[in-house]
Chain A
Amino acid sequence: LQDIRNTVGNIPMEWYQDFPHIGYDLDGKKIYKPIRNKDELDMFLEKMENPDYWRTVQDKMTGADIKLTDEQVDLVHRLQRGQFGDVHFNPYEPAVDFFTHEVMIHPVTNRPADKRSFIPSLIEKEKVSKLVHAIKMGWIKPRKPKDDSPSYYDLWAHEDPNSILGRHKMHVPAPKMKLPGHEESYNPPPEYLLSEEEKLAWEQQEVAERKLNFVPQRFGSLRQVPAYPRFIQERFERCLDLYLCPRQRKMRVNVNPEDLIPKLPKPRDLQPFPTTQALIYRGHSSLVRCLSISPSGQWLVSGSDDGTVRFWEVCTARCMKTLPVGGVVKSIAWNPNPTICLVAICVEQSVLLVNPCLGDKLLYGATDQLLESYVAPEEERVQPVRWVTATAEEHSKGIRLVIQHSKAVKQVTWHGKGDYLASVVSDNSSMQVLIHQSSKRWSQSPFRRSKGMVQVVLFHPTRPYFFVATQRYVRIYNLLKQELTKKLMTNCKWVSSMAIHPGGDNIICGSYDSKLAWFDLDLSTRPYQLLRHHKRALRSVAFHRRYPLFASGSDDGSVIVCHGMVYNDLLQNPLLVPVKVLKGHVITLDLGVLDVLFHPTQPWVFSSGADGTIRLYT
């Protein structure tokens, strides 16, 4: 055997696995691995045939096969059995005592005792004196006597039932923990167990949001119930709640919800009011924007986006007359004077005064005569509008006069006497509101300055007052004194419509933010009540001339009729009770009811809708 010294040191020999050599000798030359050209079959054959195969091992350092000698094999066997490697070593030699157990008569050493074992120790003295000093100085306290007072005694022997908590009167005792319900049982009724989806939902919920802080489970018997893994956590959380949670007395509202509902008079006691849909007036092909009714209550006129004005007979729903006006009809108003048969119609930039030629021939003949009896004044006065007499063709259709404005007209309304009419122009100047006198064909602009976009104007039914609603305020002018008498805050964002109580002391305003404000002019400039009955914007409101009723129409397609009783007694506030919600109009283009109107004598209400119909509720 050659003396090969591998110089690689104590390293894992796998590092040389892929190399032909296995290390370097002392001269730095490679030590090559012995050639191994045996394949597995050869190996197997060798394993089978070589009788010494079992005692052949591979030397890792040289890579050579070494056959173990008999002694080496013996050594391995002995080590495996846990015996000593040396054959000749005897682990069970007889023991020899170091000292004898017998008592001897002579001492081991005969040395005389030191002097220091007879005199007191200086070091100890020093220590003691230190302790004494420390005790004297109070640094060390003598052991305290055992406290043998009983650990528990009757603490509340002299309790004072009236005594309050030492801290303060406002102590809030900690609320008790919630008592468990059926779902916490180890064997709950089956309906309390969570289904798969519920379990999933429970797992996905935030821990704080969970209604139950555990999943209900069912165990067949008590022995199957395991320990609850979150028991300690729950106690701990309770501890945290006790000392970290602010406590507050919360007044639990314990009201019967029925008691919250205001006690209103029954609608049945407030009859008459319209309850059912009676008639539908069909004919318009587009949305019907405006309605008006003759003072006698026999004829109804409606203006629509299809450019026509239709006259209906109320009781039969028959269209008596169709008047094409060639433009969108924004507003329409029948002269409230029963002796005059005249309708004002807003079409684009002009207001048409139309004699519908319906009803009593004498009556409408007289109206024509009245209009024709006009004599032009000698000197032409400067007017903001032009009064034009209708042409022959127009005359045959019924149009008598045309008041031509410079801008598009929004609204027209008559004074109660039937001579004056006011029109609103969509403009932002001072010329927004114009008051016309039809008998003298004379117009004037009452305001010097504009106070904002005028939405609606109204005449007071009896007194010389004029109501102008801008977006957020309603101003009341005295026309005689020519001054502002009142300014009402509507508390709404955008007023859409306004109506006045026939008594003249109450106003209602509808607004696009779906509120209806009731003003009592004697009470205050703020709304007496703000009703939020509708879900969408209010388009129009109306008062009944005789009955204590008012109605509002809204984009949600409903008309709400309310009982609005005004008492003569000034001390009693008006009583407002909603009595009926009337539905019928189909919502088209996000618009529902566009105009509502009461019959002058009957408790009937008309509504015109975006679906091109007019409905009568009786």
Chain B
Amino acid sequence: TIPRRLCILKGIYPHEPKHKKKVNKGSTAPRTFYLLKDIKFLLHEPIVSKFREYKVFVRKLRKAFGKSEWGTVERLKDNKPTYRLDHIVKERYPTFTDALRDLDDALSMCFLFSTFPRTGKCHVQTVQLCRRLAVEWLNYIIASRSLRKVFLSIKGIYYQAEVLGQPITWITPYTFAHDHPTDVDYRVMATFTEFYTTLLGFVNFRLYHSLNLVYPPKIDGQADVELKPTEGKEYAMDSESYLEKLSALSASLARVVAPAHEDEVEMDEFPVEGETSEEMDTRKKEQEALEKQKKLFEGLRFFLSREVPREPLAFIIRCFGGQVSWDKSLCIGATYGVSDPSITHHIVDRPRPEPQLVGRCYLQPQWVFDSVNAKMCLPVADYFPGVLLPPHLSPFVTEQEGDYVPPEKLKLLALQRGENPDEESEEEEEEEEEEDDNDKEEEEDEDESEKEEEMKLKKMEEQKTQSNKALPVKVTAGKVRLEDRKRLEQEQQSEEKRLAIMMMKKREKYLYKKIMFGKKRKVREANKLAAKRKAHDTAVKEEKKKSKKARRA
């Protein structure tokens, strides 16, 4: 059997043979196959001997324990063999971009492990290391302002950052105690985490140096002074307070070279070959939009209420240049209090906040997330506390042609284009109200109209009888049958297509049918969603009408 740990560390995965029967001695029973080359490659790994050493160490230790030779135990523990995974990281990721490309799982795992309790499931050191690396990563993202998308899902919070052109997505769980499942092998996860922490450490080191930041991160001198006050001591032990201060995410980091006041070098534009001016323009526009997005919250001062998840919000706001603070008792690193008059946005998540201060917006946290995804500060009216929130859409979905696009997304796109759909919708609503009124009138009218109809019918009958009397043999003028040319043409085309499909080769026909089936299913699903939405909207409207009627009555 292949040692599992080695496979995980070295990134060896099984292989699907081309001829299963040939390899498996004629049977087709499901088995996993590894390449012989891979196994040989594993055997050459120097870490194998380290593992053996460790095994021997464990055996000796057990023996010493059994004999209760405590001196030996001590001595053995002092000489505990260790191993490093640097060379494996380098080998698996020969270039830095490779490492960045594969960072998604590493980050998700580290963020998960950093939320584990410090007892039981895994070593305390692992949890602490994961926490440290995660905080370092967050601080880097803040410093480089490379966060792009955020998404509140029911599973956790997704973030997407763009680091050196690579999109990196990770998920963090909501901060609740874990209900540890029994059907999970924590040893496997621990092995993965072991590798991931090494990888993430090296990546962090490199990233920090690329921004001229000190690694391990240090809080900027000025901010450090600000943070000095004794509150830190009450909050955490000296050994931990530094990490806590870092993880508060409120202070900027120290740089190796003092930054020369945002000296952004004007990049010379080199037209890429084979690029038309239009493409260049779009690229330029994108660049500008990106710059704008990076400064989304610049100049805004946020205050987080106690019930709001602090870390994600602080992280996001800081990523886009905003200033953020929270209650002093909530966490270390608060920079200003609730009553600060310069606060522009107050994030709350309760139905009815206590006395509101004038001069700031009280908003629900979803506003921050939606604004980031929309790359603009959204109108605040929809996000006041206690208001029914607009749906939170996934920023990771890019609708292709024919896909279902939820109306909220359309609205958002219109907003981004600079139109203001709100007014229209309001108008629509007004119209609807008018319509409602009309409906009532119509209801009243209906009786009259029925009468009218009856009259008409009578008249018609009279006319008929009259005409019958006048002419016993009736000749009606022939109608010119209008041939719908378009439809005819369409029919012809569809028939041609059908005939051509008949002539397809068997294999191509199969492929074609499969593709068409997939397309049809997509359309069906989109239609289903649209129908559902329509039904929902009408139901909501009915309810509104009813409530309005009730109010009037």
Contacts and interface: CB of A to CB of B under 8 A. Distances in A.
Interface of A: 140-141, 143-144, 147, 151-156, 159-161, 163-168, 172-174, 176-177, 179-182, 184-192, 195, 214, 216-217, 219-223, 225-236, 238-240, 242-248, 253, 255, 257, 260-262, 264, 266-268, 531-533, 560, 576-581
Nearest to B388: A220
A300 to B, nearest CB: 28
A284 to B, nearest CB: 31
B14 A246 contact: yes
29 contacts: A143-B79, A144-B79, A147-B82, A151-B201, A156-B93, A181-B394, A185-B152, A185-B394, A186-B153, A192-B529, A195-B532, A220-B389, A222-B349, A225-B154, A227-B173, A227-B174, A235-B108, A240-B188, A242-B105, A243-B7, A243-B188, A244-B14, A244-B32, A246-B16, A261-B501, A266-B496, A578-B503, A579-B499, A581-B498
Contacts of B392: 185-188
B152 A222 contact: yes
Interface in B483-503: 492, 495-503
A163 B350 CA distance: 56
B503 A577 contact: yes
Interface stretch (B427-435, B436-444, B472-480, B508-516): B508-516
Residue with the greatest number of chain A CB neighbours at <10 A, chosen from B155, B179, B388: B155
Interface in B182-203: 183-185, 188-189, 192, 201-202
Nearest to A156: B96
Nearest to A195: B532
Contact of A247 (B13, B92, B407): B13
B117 interface: no
A143 B78 contact: yes
Contacts of B206: 154-156
B408 to A, nearest CB: 6
A242 B496 contact: no
Nearest to A187: B392
A579 B497 CA distance: 11
A328 to B, nearest CB: 34
Interface in B405-454: 406-408
Interface stretch (B83-91, B239-247, B316-324, B456-464): B83-91
Residue with the greatest number of chain B CB neighbours at <10 A, chosen from A159, A168, A189, A214: A189
B491 to A, nearest CB: 12
Contact of B396 (A156, A180, A239, A579): A180
Contacts of B336: none
A228 to B, nearest CB: 4
A226 B188 CA distance: 27
A262 B156 contact: no
B158 interface: yes
A253 B155 contact: no
Interface in B306-352: 307-309, 349-350
Contacts of A246: 13-16, 32-33
A192 B528 CA distance: 10
B75 interface: yes
B139 interface: no
Contact of A165 (B94, B105, B204, B500): B94
Given A220-B388, A230-B181, 14 more contacts: A154-B206, A166-B91, A166-B94, A180-B158, A186-B154, A186-B392, A189-B533, A216-B154, A228-B173, A235-B109, A236-B185, A236-B188, A257-B512, A580-B499
Nearest to B149: A179
Given A156-B95, A190-B533, A173 B511 contact: no
Q: Rank and list the top 7 A-B pairs by shortest CB-CB distance, nearest first.
A: A227-B176, A179-B396, A191-B533, A246-B16, A191-B532, A189-B391, A184-B153
A155 B504 CA distance: 56
A267 B154 contact: no
B13 A159 contact: no
Given A233-B183, A261-B512, A187 B366 contact: yes
Given A246-B15, A246-B16, A181 B396 contact: yes
